[in-house]
């Protein structure tokens, strides 16, 4: 059930409980950074992150802030700067549980969640050490294969995140959200139990009633809370209107190499 | 080479572009500036017969069904070419994108899947050393061939490094050309796995004048929003 | 590979070979009736129809014209008039092979085709006579279930139609097609080997480059041929602009009850 | 009933609307004009707390992910109510939507799936006769319960006919109310399966004045494009 009307970014972030399985888009896919700062401010703990399909700055920040217990993702990098420094540090220190995955498996897990089915089969991956590390990905013989054909195939279990959190362009008063081409966010919201969205702006009409907007709209049915946060993806890019703040990202990559540097830039960004 | 400002990146982009010539479609993953430049160069030269998808670039994205579409497209048999790198690459075409010892790479991304499904996989790693080109990868992120009995429509066709170009056939690499300044001997010294040598290994051809104009002009401009440091530092740099 | 530029409706229909597995939308989903008339005119035979997910007037016409060998569909009715008269007649006469299905299975089969996987599991259906009639739908024990839980689940094999044929609002010169909210047509086109589309009109710009149009656009990558056919869904509805011709549909339901009546109305419509 | 123009369709729509009261979401399949009217009536009375999906109606379609979304929505556990009919319905709640002898019905549509997944399935068939309400269906399109061991979150909760309303519990039907003019005896005479009778079977309540105004006004208008003959002939007709 949706709360009526938009809420504050703090209220939205505050509704994410400690221990939640939290699904987050890739750095190019509409990241709710303003809400992430709010989540860190409130001292979130033991989050189990799920990358859709990969992870970046947002996850590195959450790890550095001590908010993350597990991370399941297909990749973890800060753009051209490579592996996130806080992620790398947490791996060295131990305590962070990482479940390495691959992009199509992350998508397939959410599609299975969306369809209410226990798993989705997926080609490829066979014979890799990635698969060897995933005891939760069974390999079965394709029941449709010919008798002489072993045809092993990987099954990806469904994932239904407790919370999905992302940033989008527009929401209307009914709670419909315009995601445009970012359809993985629709799959994600379908699969998730609760979907929280920050948006650049409110749309005056009903998005579903506009034939040009409706095809890029996630219906209110799946949206638990909306908060308005203009520029809410900073310092990450959002669409063509909000390019990445390359200076801020470069500063982060450098600063976060040390505990003190990370603490300083985090304090600055949380102000 | 004539007296031109050919950066190493431009040289490699031109080499990679030739590895996907004839493709109808090519996709480029994240953090892959030189392959992205190569794909755009190939697109220019294919005169509309090549569809280029560059992950993260809104202008080079022909897909409208979200993040999964490129992977589904590949499994449908519609994606001809893809570039893959590797923290380690071994002589069987296996690649490691995850970790060696306690060193962590960014992760496997789509490799474990695309390597098995895309017919023309171009392996690319600029660093050509025994640290990268190893006898056996520490962690198999994606397999160059097999495993036996598995459904498979894809695999590596070539390997391009900062020193040479290899062809991949029958589960192993064959050196087909050495970049300027390299010889079969220097390549062998820097390569940790065994490889065959083509009957007629030649110097690798660099970019044509037209290639260079395209790479330093419209292609650098197109990639600047996605790879600002790469385009600033490398593609337009004045030292090869 | 796409043919350059739009073709004629006759050329488009002519590219569907006899014996093709031909996937067609439901009566409300953008039916290429003008192309269907052209297909009947050219005397198509042995088509294997696949309903996305159900079938109606178009399929009844093709059956009546002797063009259909098999029909796989979740339902077959002419709106308020019930079961199609030519379909009913063909069942009585014998010779038409019907593979009865259910809507979510039709969608799942195409999703599996789209994903290049051999099957998709689906909940429900168990214990029905529908399932008993589908030897091609294996039931397996869910490999992810607990040891004590039998948890049987149906597997729906992938379908990759030879040809998909539908009607849409707009296409551009590059072959991109605006399908709006009819996203099952995107899944269908992804799964199909060749997709043929009739459209109301040509769009002057590039649909993928317009941020408002792109989310409802099927990319040219999947589109083999486009033909312009204004009103090309007649007598079926298309969007709000083209309501169904209820008079024509009622006349068909009545006339097609007899061989002679069908022959007469078909001759009239093919003119 | 007072002296009003209550068509049978309006009466049944009001009864069906009560069967889905309290739902947060209801979907209506194709060729289901009376359930569609019922869903819209329930929507009016729920004052925005009920989401209605009517297949084929662009104005009552909250979905944007194509034909599969409603089925996925149901499997996610988000669809509370759905209406199902049946060429035959038997005392175990099994329904036949496909064929009897050599008579063909339109087909199973979503029933084999939705019956197992939607918690509040409302069975509806206007014809109440031994031809329809049979001891055992000829063909099981969808099961009222089971099979043993199968994952199941849904099933029938009620059965509404042109004569009566039944509740479905523990794998069987209980008569809870008879429409005006019917008695337990007349119902039994026309029903081919055994059923229990509630301790206090009452006359079925018809539409309120407000219900009737809604059905004959805005709801009839809303359904006219989808069901022209139904709305013209039945909902606004002047004979009950």
User: Would you say residue B118 lies in a domain?
Assistant: no
Give CA–CA dist B74/B52, Å, rounded: 13
8 A C-beta contact, residue B40 and residue B226: no
* A97-119 residue pLDDT tens: 999 999 999 999 999 999 999 99
CATH code, domain with B143: 3.40.1080.10
Report percent pLDDT > 90 for chain C.
93
User: Would you say residue B14 lies in a domain?
Assistant: yes
* B24-53 residue pLDDT tens: 999 999 889 999 999 999 999 998 899 999
8 A C-beta contact, residue D74 and residue D152: no
* Chain A interface test: which of C107, C144, C182 (most A C-beta within 10 Å): C144
Supply C166's token pair.
């539908």
Residues D169 and D240 in one domain: no
Residue B240's pLDDT is 36
* D154-173 residue pLDDT tens: 999 999 999 999 999 999 99
Give CA–CA dist A132/A266, Å, rounded: 37
Q: Which domain holds residue B199?
A: 87-108+125-205
Sorted by sequence, the CB contacts under 8 Å of residue A149 that are 6+ apart come out as A142, B149
* D124: β partners: D160
Report percent pLDDT > 90 for chain D.
84
Closest CA to B61 of D166, A240, C227, D16: A240
Q: Which residues of A touch B109 (CB under 8 A)?
A: 54, 74-75, 102-103
Residue B236's pLDDT is 64
Supply D11's token pair.
């009466």
Residues B227 and B201 in one domain: no
Report percent pLDDT > 90 for chain B.
84
Give CA–CA dist A251/D6, Å, rounded: 74
Instruction: Indicate the range of B85-89, B100-104, C36-40, C67-71 predicted with least confidence.
Output: B100-104
Would you identify the CATH topology of the domain C9-102+159-244? Glutaconate Coenzyme A-transferase (3.40.1080)
Residues D194 and D168 in one domain: yes
Q: What DSSP line would sit under C115-134, residue for residue?
A: HT-SEEEESS-TT-HHHHT-
Q: Which residues of A touch B30 (CB under 8 A)?
A: 28, 54, 75, 77
Would you call A212 and C213 a contact, using CB atoms and an 8 Å cutoff?
yes
CA distances to A252, D57, D219, D230 from D224, in Å: 61, 10, 8, 8
Residues B236 and B171 in one domain: no
Give the CA-trace dihedral at C229, C234, C238, C240, to 10 degrees. Answer: 110
> Is residue D137 scored above 50 in pLDDT?
yes
How close is the nearest chain A Cα to the Cα of D51, in Å? 8
Residues B199 and B93 in one domain: yes
User: Would you say residue D115 lies in a domain?
Assistant: no
Give CA–CA dist A55/A70, Å, rounded: 13
For the CA atoms of chain B, what is the radius of gyration? 17
Closest CA to D81 of D36, D45, D125, D126: D36
Kindly give the parts of chain A with pLDDT less than 70: 1-4
8 A C-beta contact, residue B76 and residue B68: no
Chains that touch A (3 or more CB pairs under 8 A): B, C, D
Average pLDDT over residues B129-137: 98
Q: Where are the domains of chain A?
A: 9-102+159-244, 119-157
Give CA–CA dist D207/D87, Å, rounded: 26
Residues D133 and D30 in one domain: no
When divided into structural domains, chain D yields a total of: 2
SS3 C44: coil
Residue A265's pLDDT is 98
Supply B194's token pair.
């065994």
User: Would you say residue B184 lies in a domain?
Assistant: yes
CA distances to A48, A77, C244, D48 from A80, in Å: 26, 8, 55, 48
Sorted by sequence, the CB contacts under 8 Å of residue A192 that are 6+ apart come out as A23, A113, A160, A161, A162, A163, A164, A222
Residue B102 CB coordination number (10 Å): 8
Kindly give the interhelix angle for A103-115 and A184-191, rounded to the nearest 10 degrees: 50
* Candidate from A153, A211, A216 with C-beta closest to C118: A153
* Candidate from C108, C143, C155 with C-beta closest to A138: C143
Residues D154 and D196 in one domain: yes
CA distances to A169, D215, D221 from D49, in Å: 26, 19, 22
* Candidate from C88, C102, C184 with C-beta closest to D111: C102
Would you call B65 and C115 a contact, using CB atoms and an 8 Å cutoff?
no
Residues D132 and D167 in one domain: yes
Residue B219's pLDDT is 94
Question: Residue by residue, what is the 3-state secondary structure of chain B?
Answer: CCCCCCCHHHHHHHHHHHHCCCCCEEEECCCCHHHHHHHHHHHHHHCCCCEEEECCCHHHCCCCCCCCHHHHHHHCCCCCEEEECCCEEECCCCEECCEECCEECCCCCCHHHHHHHCCEEEEEECCCCCCCEECCCCCCCECCCCCCCCCCCCCEEEEEECCEEEEEECCEEEEEEECCCCCHHHHHHHCCCCCEEEEEEEECCCCCHHHHHHHHHHHHHHHCCCCHHHHHHHHCCCCC
Residue A234's pLDDT is 98
* Candidate from D61, D105, D110 with C-beta closest to C103: D110
Residues B180 and B164 in one domain: yes
User: Would you say residue B67 lies in a domain?
Assistant: yes
Would you call B73 and C221 a contact, using CB atoms and an 8 Å cutoff?
yes
Q: Quick check: ipTM above 0.90? A: yes
For the CA atoms of chain C, what is the radius of gyration? 19
How close are the terminal C-alpha atoms of chain B, in Å? Answer: 11
Confidence class for position C195, pLDDT limits 50, 70, 90: very high
Half-sphere exposure of B61 (CA within 13 A, CB side): 24
Scanning the structure block, which residue is given the tokens 């946060």? A229
Residues D63 and D152 in one domain: no
Scanning the structure block, which residue is given the tokens 């075409």? B93
Give CA–CA dist C120/A119, Å, rounded: 9
Would you call D151 and C123 a contact, using CB atoms and an 8 Å cutoff?
yes
User: Would you say residue D68 lies in a domain?
Assistant: yes
Average pLDDT over residues C11-34: 97
D101 or A106: which leads in pLDDT: A106
User: Would you say residue B116 lies in a domain?
Assistant: no
Scanning the structure block, which residue is given the tokens 């009737």? D212
Give CA–CA dist D36/D34, Å, rounded: 5
């Amino acid at each position: 059930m949706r709360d009526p009307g938009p809420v504050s970014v703090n209220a939205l972030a505050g509704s994410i409980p400690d221990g939640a399985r939290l699904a987050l888009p890739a750095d190019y896919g509409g990241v709710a950074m303003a809400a992430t700062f709010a989540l860190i401010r409130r001292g979130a703990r033991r989050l189990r992150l799920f990358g859709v399909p990969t992870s970046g700055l947002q996850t590195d920040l959450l790890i550095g802030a001590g908010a993350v217990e597990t991370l399941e993702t297909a990749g973890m990098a800060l753009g051209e700067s490579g592996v996130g420094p806080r992620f790398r540090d947490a791996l060295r220190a131990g305590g962070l549980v990482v479940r390495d995955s691959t992009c199509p498996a992350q998508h397939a897990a959410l599609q299975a969640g969306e369809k209410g089915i226990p798993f989705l089969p997926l080609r490829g991956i066979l014979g890799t050490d990635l698969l060897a590390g995933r005891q939760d990905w069974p390999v079965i013989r394709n029941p449709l294969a010919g008798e002489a054909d072993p045809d092993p195939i990987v099954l990806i279990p469904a994932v239904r995140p407790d919370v999905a959190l992302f940033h989008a362009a527009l929401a209307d008063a009914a709670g419909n959200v315009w995601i445009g081409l970012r359809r993985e966010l629709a799959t994600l919201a379908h699969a998730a139990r609760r979907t929280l969205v920050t948006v650049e702006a409110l749309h005056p009409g009903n998005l579903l009633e506009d034939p040009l907007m409706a095809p890029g709209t996630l219906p209110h049915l799946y949206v638990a809370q909306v908060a308005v946060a203009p520029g809410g993806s900073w310092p990450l890019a959002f669409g063509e209107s909000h390019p990445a703040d390359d200076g801020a990202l470069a500063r982060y990559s450098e600063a976060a190499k040390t505990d003190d540097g990370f603490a300083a830039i985090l304090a600055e960004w949380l102000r | 080479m004539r007296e031109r400002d050919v950066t190493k990146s431009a040289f490699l982009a031109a080499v990679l572009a030739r590895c996907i010539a004839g493709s109808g479609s090519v996709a480029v993953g994240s953090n892959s500036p030189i392959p992205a430049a190569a794909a755009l160069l190939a697109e220019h030269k294919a005169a509309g017969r090549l569809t280029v998808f560059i992950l993260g670039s809104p202008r080079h994205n022909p897909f409208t069904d979200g993040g999964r579409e490129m992977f589904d497209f590949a499994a449908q048999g519609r994606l001809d070419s893809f570039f893959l790198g590797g923290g380690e690459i071994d002589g069987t075409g296996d690649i490691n994108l995850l970790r060696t010892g306690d060193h962590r790479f960014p992760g496997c991304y789509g490799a474990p899947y695309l390597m098995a499904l895309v017919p023309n996989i171009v392996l690319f790693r600029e660093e050509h050393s025994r640290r990268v080109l190893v006898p056996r990868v520490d962690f198999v992120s994606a397999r160059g061939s097999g495993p036996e009995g598995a459904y498979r429509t894809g695999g590596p066709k070539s390997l391009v490094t900062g020193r040479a170009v290899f062809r991949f056939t029958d589960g192993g690499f064959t050196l087909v050309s050495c970049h300027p300044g390299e010889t079969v001997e220097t390549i062998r010294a820097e390569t940790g796995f065994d490889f065959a040598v083509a009957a007629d290994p030649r110097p690798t051809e660099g970019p044509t004048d037209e290639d260079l104009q395209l790479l330093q002009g419209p292609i650098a401009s197109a990639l600047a929003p996605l790879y600002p440091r790469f385009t600033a530092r490398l593609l337009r740099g004045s030292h090869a």
